[in-house]
Amino acid sequence: MIKFVNAKINIGLNIVGKREDGYHDLETVFFPVGLESGMPQQPDPFDDILEISLDRNKPSGCRFQLMGRRLNCAPEKNLVVRAATLFFNTYYEKTGRAIDEGLYNIILDKHLPDGAGLGGGSADASFCLVALNEMFDEPFSKRRLAELSAKLGADCPFFIYNTPSFAEGIGEVLTPVDIDLKGCSLLIVKPDVSVSTKEAFSGIKPRKPKFDLRFLPDLPLEKWRDYVVNDFEESIFPLHPELGRLKEEMYEGGAVYASMSGSGSALYAIYRDAEKGSAQRERFVSTYSGVWLFGL
């Protein structure tokens, strides 16, 4: 079985409170991107490719292989391996049957950038759960898969449903939203800048947002710039001014809306005019190694 693993962007991200468990409550809109990567209409390679196969002639077990973009992560700590282990253990708890048909080969061909705020690792984990669930004739509902995925990462449940969603809590409480960006172009740029989670949250001050993102579908795209903010930009841009400059360049090039995704360091821009998006893509590819353009 082969799955093409897409990413997400955050449209707005508000940190609204600090929890007793040390995490932060947030409000954001998750929007899937790269759903048609590799197709003629979106030729830029972007999605990860996850392949799972069963070799019945080998002793029972699970073997993981990573290809493409290298990760500074031990194999046993990779979210895909953890997702597979979680699935097999939960399947045994539900059915009393161990996974003994043979050797499951899991190959992850990595293209999505890490440390970008695009949810690549979380997406890999969730797609692994979905793929295994399909291979085992769907013993778990989507709701149950979302519950399992939340053990792997706060934004993992989003990728189980993979539709535009308003997220709250630590990102695991989801409500579908109807965001219509058809006809627009989306440009994603990943600068050679790394922002750690600790660094991102170090300057955050929880507060009530000025705009309720649940009403984002009612707000015209042309007004997003005035109302929709990512709270992380306030603390991260002073530490990495090149990110702030990149956002301004996106607006100067005709973007209707531009923002950092998650805690960064990728930024994205939305264009009504496809030619302006293409022109900025050509401009940025000479400076940044990670540049992708999609039609929405």
145-193 residue pLDDT tens: 999 999 999 999 999 999 999 999 999 999 999 999 999 999 999 999 8
Q: Which CATH code, of 1.10.10.10, 3.30.230.10, 3.55.30.10, 3.30.70.20, is assigned to 2-176?
A: 3.30.230.10
Confidence of residue 61 (pLDDT cuts 50, 70, 90): confident
Q: Do domains 2-176 and 185-295 have the same CATH topology?
A: no
Confidence of residue 276 (pLDDT cuts 50, 70, 90): very high
Q: What is the pTM of this model?
A: 0.93
> Per-residue DSSP letters for 173-208?
EEEE-----TT-EEEEEE-S----HHHHHHT-----
Max Cα-Cα span within the chain: 60
What's the topology of domain 185-295? Alpha-Beta Plaits (3.30.70)
Backbone angles phi, psi at 277, to 5 degrees: -65, -45
Quick one: average pLDDT of 83-99?
A: 92
Catalytic residue among 3, 8, 247, 276: 8
Catalytic residue among 155, 190, 247, 276: 155
Domain ranges of the chain: 2-176, 185-295
Q: Does the structure show a pLDDT above 90 at 200?
A: no
Report yes or no: 292 and 44 within 8 Å, Cβ to Cβ. yes
Specify whether 155 is catalytic. Answer: yes
Query: Which strands form 257-260's sheet, in the order they lie side by side?
Result: 257-260, 267-271, 185-190, 290-295
Specify whether 8 is catalytic. Answer: yes
